[in-house]
Amino acid sequence: MSLYEKLLNREEKLSLIGLGYVGMPIAVAFSRKLDVVGFDTNKEKIALYKAGIDPTQEVGNEAIQNTSVYFTCDEKKLRAAKFHIVAVPTPINQDKTPNLTPLVVASSILGRNLTKNSIVVYESTVYPGVTEGICVPILEKESGLKCGVDFKVGYSPERINPGDKQHRLENIRKIVAGIDQQALEEIKKIYDLVIEVGTYPVSTIKTAEAIKVVENSQRDINIAFMNELAMVFDKMGIDTNEVVDGMNTKWNALGFRPGLVGGHCIGVDPYYFTYESEKLGYHSQIILSGRKVNDSMGQFVANAAIKEMIKAGKAPKESKVVILGLTFKENCPDIRNSKVEDIVNRLKEFDIVPVISDTWANKEEVKKVYNIDLVNFEDIKDADCLIIAVAHEQYKKLLIADFDKLFINEDNNQKIIIDVKGILNRSDVNNLGYHYWRL
């Protein structure tokens, strides 16, 4: 009997190592079909899940309360499973090199608890070669087992888009790869249980690893092009969004828009790709240039705010700047690699300590990660300059009059609005006399 059949018959279990924005939705999805062990080293996170609370807001509290996933931080419980999925983050170091520490730790934990005839599938974003060259040796060393003989490995890059309620795990086609044909067939059948649109098998694990870093690098480059245009159009006095709206009337337009590019994928994956290519002697001519542009956008936005304050006759150092939004993207509590931090850091160079509010971010987490004390939206007042940094749905629903209540009581021509994502109607704001700027 195959592992697939044993899982369906509930004779064996599936485990999920890493219960964040990616791992937890996968665990919940599989639990509708199989017995699932959900493991994470974060005791506080496990306690929340056990209490029926979803801190990621990806599937919601109700789904967590009704799931059959066995949440645990006891690594020995992994021994009860035969099919393991590793979905831990893969960040970058200060010098932009890959930080594989979470992956190494997860592999060590799993290796210590790996049993014969298991299959291990990695979902974490890595450069080509990591699964077989780094993870497999750790699994073999810790378990005393031989890959390809005693256990198999595979790779299936995560494609979950945090905060996106339209493109979900179930309706995004999933890349799958295995160390051999037998492993690939088992992995494909198991993932097909929860991927409604089906899986896409590829020939090697390295190919699957490459697909992940390349698809995000491609997106990063396209956004970098739009960001560069925004910088040029700003000097020309041309509205970038109007240009993009016009361009998008053509059938083959790609629809990208300028903005802050952070997060755990697009802001990181290009560095994984170029890291490995440079080890092989090839130095990127395009990818790192795009990353350089996107990494500069926070500073560009902050500089624009300074210029608009000066135009309005205000002394930036004496002005109260309010920033709405800190998460790396809209409608999502994920604050990892948020480029809003770059805006904050640039403003601090001018001795401006902005007031920051976010309707999605967790205050304790923000304090721990960025040493920033978030304020409640309703407590904001007397602003001179308002930077709408993240296009949360709550902000998009507000009227100009709602934003006006956040400002100090003075003429509109002394109120500055920096609308990073262009959520307001430019004509309406300009007609009311505000100093308005957007990418």
Supply the residues annotated as catalytic: 265
Q: Are 301 and 260 in contact (CB under 8 A)?
A: yes
Interstrand relation of 385-388 and 321-324 (parallel, antiparallel or unpaired)? parallel
- Rounded Cα distance between 152 and 173, Å, is 23
* Cα dist from 31 to 36, 63, 66, 382, whole Å: 6, 11, 10, 50
H/E stretch holding 304 reads: helix 297-311
Q: What Å distances lie between residue 28 and 32, 62, 144, 170, 223, CA to CA?
A: 7, 11, 31, 11, 33
Both tokens of residue 20?
A: 């964040």
- Residue 309's region, left for phi above 0, alpha for psi from -120 to 50, else beta, is alpha
User: Nearest-CA neighbor of 136 among 122, 124, 126, 123?
Assistant: 122
* Cα-trace Rg, the chain: 24
Burial 157-186 (b: 16+ CB within 10 A, else e): bbbbbbbeeeeebeeeebbbbbbeeebbeb
Distances (CA, A) of 283 to 115, 275, 287, 305: 41, 9, 9, 35
What the block records as the tokens of 217 is: 């690098």
Q: Which residues on neighbouring strands pair with residue 85, listed in sequence order?
A: 16, 121
The β-bridge partners of 36 are 14
Work out the number of other CB atoms within 10 angstroms of the CB of residue 27: 29
What is the C-alpha separation between 186 and 83, in angstroms, rounded?
A: 10
d(CA 94, CA 74): 31
DSSP class per residue in 232-282: HHHHHT--HHHHHHHHTTSTT----------TTTTTTHHHHHHHHHHHTT-
Among residues 396, 380, 369, which one has the least CA distance to residue 264? 369
